[in-house]
Each structure stands twice: as structure tokens, then as C-alpha cells.
């Protein structure tokens, strides 16, 4: 059988391959004509990722009972630690934070952050981390220059042999080029060009391009271009691309991706004008937070520790711990995983969303910190825990704020959608090649067409 695309999601333990074709109806709208999925073990640690890719393709061929032929193969990857980045800026709540937002939104895993002038111990830690890339920020445009230049000299002298991304004060660019002459350097627009202004999208785009260029050098991934002929993206970055694509279709939205090791939250929303006027620091329109301690399998013990008597529903923490499995099948195991998924969602939401604080300076009113989610129209669930364990829709429905007073949480009118085919990462990387087919894939998995029809009625 011939299909248009194969898209592989190469996870830390499992590789999932989706095969599909798209067609246009008489009105010129794209739809998914056929779709199949297969999985295999991720074989990066065995030295060749293509072994697991081929196993996943064989599983599809066994379903079809015939060989599979495809037009183009794409991939996302979070294997071998994902996209590890260290970030070095000037001030924690300004340039450092802006660089972190850019890296996280691109799908990065932030392994180290420094503010101000770096020390020799910081260089030693970079060696230990062995990141995929190093980001240097610092200074608004035509503002403070010396810290970024000092840090650049230190990093350059160490010859880390890693891609370096400079996204600081544009007045430094010529000197940065000289400092890193002969090394792999990317100069990007400043992520914090002026006070209270974030400019993270240019950096995100370059980070993903650098990842695609360098992933083929990673151990176990050096054969990937033997099979993958199209784009390769970090898996969390691909989910963010899908979230931005959905924003174009639906408006403001919030996405939860609950996994065995982490819980990612993506939001695409400007927030309300009232909250924007109260914000102490600017927030990006598209924001991603990663809760590395919140997982329903690998990090289940961390979530269990967070449970209180109101969460347990009559169970004990010991009982929950005894019924945690990678793929829950028995009803007791399903109930335990559902309980942890709910807690992971609740905690991750509180960490992602902003907070309001009353002012006591005589003027009254409030000040706001962080991301405003009050204008979110859709709450989307992806990842195995929310899409494969029954009750995902109920968990997400329960996070809505039901009162009428001011809040930065999603309000009661927000609708819940589930990524039932678990393809948001797949659709995100596909959007680089075929945006219309990517939208069709999302609409099919989320049931968006039905939601929009209901809204019209």
C-alpha cells in the first residue's frame, strides 16, 4: 500500500509511526483518507534508531498484510535526553527569562541557567551536562554590553564544540562573530530588545533548525537520514507548532501533555486586556512550561507525595503506589493512573498560570504575575495519560474556574477536546511540509469539525 506520509515520534522508550494519506474534497478542503499506526522500541541506545523505526513500520505492514510504500518520512524526537540547552543571560526576570521562553517553546530541555557573569564552575557544569546547544543572551538593544561579551569569551575559549546561539544586545553582534570565529554560531534577533518586550519566535525558529541540522550527529541518531527524508523536530516543539496551528483554527487555547516522566503545558493566548494592564512582566503569546517532576509512571512517586486526603478518594498512598504501571489494564491500575493524572494536571496548571495580588499602596486594585489563561476557549488533552486512560475529558473539564470574579485561570465556558489519535506531535512536524494536511489530521483527531458544526447550530 502507498501512503503520502510516514511520521515517526521517537520517544525515550517507544517509537510510534503514523502512516496516512490526505485528499481534497470538491470544495478544496483537505481530509485524511487513510491512517495507520505502529510502534516499536526506541533503539538509540543500541546505536541505531532506524532499527526501532523499521520495527514500527513492520507492525503497520502486519496490520495491512502487505508492504508499505510512502512518499515522504518526517520525525520528531525526544530520545537521548531530548534537546538539551544551557542558557546564559544578564538578569533573571528579563533577558534570562526571555531566552528560556524561546528555548522551551522550541522544544528544549533547559539543563542550566546562569545570570550575570559566569564562573569557572559554570563552565565545568556545561561539560558535565554535554548540551545540544548553548544560548547566550543579555542586554536590551544598545543597552548593557559587557556581560554577554564576557560570557561569550569564556564559552568560546573552552571550545565546547557545540552550536552557540547569540540572542542578546544587537550592538554586540560584530564582536560576537569575532569571538566565535571558526565555531558553529547563530546570531538571532534579541529575545528582549527593550524593557517589557519579548521577541521569542525568531529564536525558536532557529533553535529548531539547529536541532534538525545537528540531531544526525547524536549517538544512535547518525543513521536517521537513511530513512527520514523530511523535517525532524524536537517532540515538544512539534506539539507547540500544533497548538499554534489550532490557535489559527479555534482561537485561544491551552494544551496538556501528561506523560510517564513529565507534564508539559502549552498555551497560546494574549490574555485579557484588563490583565495585560496589570502585568508586572511581559508574557509570550505562545508559552510552554515543563514539569519534570510530574509523571504518572517514571515520576509517579513525586506525584503521590503531592496527594492530600481530598485527592485520594478513600485510597491510601501505598495502595496507589502498588497499582502504578506503564500501561494500565486492570481497573485498579487505571483508577490509580487516573488519580495521578488529575493531580499532575492540577499542579501543572497552577505552575503555568499567573497569579493576581492585591495592591496595598493606597490606590487599591491588583497586580498580575505570569500567564493569563482567562480567555482560553479550548482545553486540549494529549499524551498517553489523558488520551488512553478513561476520564481525560472529565479531568480537564474540572480545571475551569466557575466563579465570575477576576481570575487568570480558564473560565467555565472553555470546551474540552481530546487528541484521541495521539497525533499532535505528528501534526506539528507535518505543518512544515503541508499545513492543510496537518490541519486535517488535527481536525480528525480532535473532532474539531463536529465542534464547529455544533457552534454554528
**Over the stretch 186-222, which tens digit does the pLDDT of each residue have?**
999 999 999 989 999 999 999 999 999 998 888 899 8
Residue 218 is predicted with a pLDDT of 83
Percent of the chain with pLDDT over 90: 81
- Return the CATH number at 200: 3.40.50.360
Residue 355 lies in a domain: yes
State pLDDT tens for residues 390-410: 999 999 999 999 998 889 999
Burial profile 165-192: b = 16 or more Cβ within 10 angstroms, e = fewer: bbbbbbbbeeebeebbeeeebbbbebbb
Residue 229 lies in a domain: no
Is 382 found in the same domain as 332?
A: yes
Residue 82 is predicted with a pLDDT of 83
Mean pLDDT of 335-364: 90
More confident: 384 or 153: 153
State pLDDT tens for residues 4-63: 999 999 987 889 999 999 888 777 777 787 789 999 999 988 999 999 999 999 999 999
pTM above 0.85, yes or no: yes
Mean pLDDT of 237-247: 96
Residue 76 lies in a domain: no
Residue 267 is predicted with a pLDDT of 98
State how far the Cα of 348 lies from the Cα of 346, in Å rounded to an integer.
6
Q: Please, which pLDDT band fits residue 450 given cuts at 50, 70 and 90?
A: low
Residue 341 lies in a domain: yes
Cell triple for 291: 514539569
Q: Please, which pLDDT band fits residue 339 given cuts at 50, 70 and 90?
A: very high
Is 164 found in the same domain as 94?
A: yes
> Which of the 8 DSSP states describes residue 431?
T
Beta carbons of 226 and 220 less than 8 angstroms apart: no
Is 205 found in the same domain as 110?
A: yes
Tell me how many domains the chain contains: 2
Residue 48 lies in a domain: no
Domain enclosing residue 256, as ranges: 235-419
Residue 163 lies in a domain: yes
Is 379 found in the same domain as 240?
A: yes
State pLDDT tens for residues 106-146: 999 999 999 999 999 999 999 999 999 999 999 999 999 99
State pLDDT tens for residues 275-305: 998 999 999 999 999 998 999 998 999 999 9
Report how far apart, in Å, the C-alpha atoms of 312 and of each of 1, 318, 330, 376, 398 are: 49, 11, 18, 29, 16
Residue 457 is predicted with a pLDDT of 36
Amino acid at each position: 500500500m502507498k501512503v503520502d506520509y510516514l511520521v515517526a515520534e521517537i520517544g525515550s522508550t517507544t517509537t510510534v509511526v503514523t502512516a496516512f494519506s490526505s485528499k481534497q474534497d470538491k470544495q478544496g478542503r483537505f481530509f485524511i483518507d487513510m491512517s495507520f499506526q505502529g510502534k516499536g522500541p526506541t533503539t538509540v541506545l543500541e546505536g541505531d534508531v532506524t532499527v526501532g523505526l523499521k520495527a514500527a513500520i513492520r507492525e503497520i505492514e502486519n496490520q495491512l498484510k502487505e508492504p508499505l510504500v510512502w512518499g515522504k518520512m518526517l520525525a520528531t524526537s525526544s530520545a537521548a535526553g531530548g534537546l538539551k540547552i544551557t542558557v546564559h543571560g544578564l538578569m533573571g526576570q528579563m533577558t534570562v527569562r526571555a531566552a528560556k521562553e524561546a528555548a522551551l517553546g522550541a522544544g528544549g530541555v533547559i539543563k542550566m541557567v546562569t545570570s550575570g557573569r559566569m564562573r569557572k564552575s559554570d563552565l565545568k557544569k556545561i561539560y558535565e551536562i554535554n548540551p545540544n546547544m548553548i544560548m547566550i543572551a543579555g542586554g536590551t538593544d544598545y543597552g548593557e554590553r559587557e556581560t554577554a561579551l564576557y560570557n561569550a569569551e569564556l564559552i568560546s575559549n573552552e571550545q565546547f564544540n557545540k552550536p552557540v546561539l547569540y540572542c542578546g544586545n544587537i550592538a554586540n553582534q560584530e564582536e560576537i562573530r569575532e569571538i566565535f570565529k571558526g565555531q558553529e554560531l547563530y546570531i538571532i534577533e534579541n529575545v528582549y530588545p527593550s524593557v517589557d518586550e519579548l521577541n521569542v519566535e525568531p529564536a525558536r525558529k532557529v533553535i529548531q533548525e539547529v536541532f534538525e541540522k545537528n540531531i544526525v550527529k547524536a549517538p544512535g541518531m547518525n543513521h536517521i537520514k537513511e530513512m527520514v527524508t523530511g523535517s525532524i523536530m524536537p517532540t515538544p516543539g512539534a506539539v507547540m507548532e500544533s497548538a499554534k496551528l489550532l490557535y489559527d483554527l479555534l482561537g485561544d487555547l491551552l494544551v496538556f501533555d501528561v506523560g510517564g516522566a513529565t507534564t508539559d503545558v502549552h498555551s497560546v493566548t494574549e490574555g485579557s486586556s484588563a490583565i495585560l494592564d496589570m502585568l508586572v512582566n511581559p508574557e509570550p503569546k505562545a508559552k510552554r512550561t515543563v514539569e519534570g517532576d510530574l509523571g504518572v509512571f517514571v515520576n509517579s512517586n513525586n506525584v503521590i507525595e503531592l496527594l492530600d486526603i481530598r485527592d485520594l478518594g478513600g485510597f491510601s498512598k501505598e495502595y496507589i503506589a502498588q497499582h502504578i504501571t506503564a500501561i494500565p489494564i486492570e481497573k485498579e491500575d487505571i483508577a490509580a493512573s487516573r488519580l495521578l493524572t488529575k493531580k499532575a494536571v492540577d499542579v501543572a496548571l497552577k505552575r503555568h498560570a499567573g497569579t493576581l495580588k492585591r495592591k496595598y499602596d493606597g490606590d487599591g486594585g491588583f497586580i498580575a504575575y505570569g500567564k493569563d489563561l482567562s480567555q482560553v476557549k479550548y482545553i486540549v488533552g494529549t499524551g498517553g495519560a489523558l488520551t488512553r486512560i478513561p476520564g481525560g475529558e472529565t479531568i480537564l473539564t474540572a480545571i475551569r474556574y466557575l466563579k465570575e470574579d477576576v481570575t487568570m485561570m480558564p473560565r467555565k465556558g472553555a470546551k474540552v477536546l481530546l487528541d484521541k489519535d495521539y497525533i499532535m506531535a505528528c501534526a506539528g512536524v507535518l505543518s512544515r511540509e503541508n499545513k492543510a494536511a496537518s490541519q486535517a489530521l488535527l481536525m480528525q483527531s480532535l473532532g474539531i469539525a463536529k465542534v464547529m458544526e455544533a457552534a454554528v447550530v
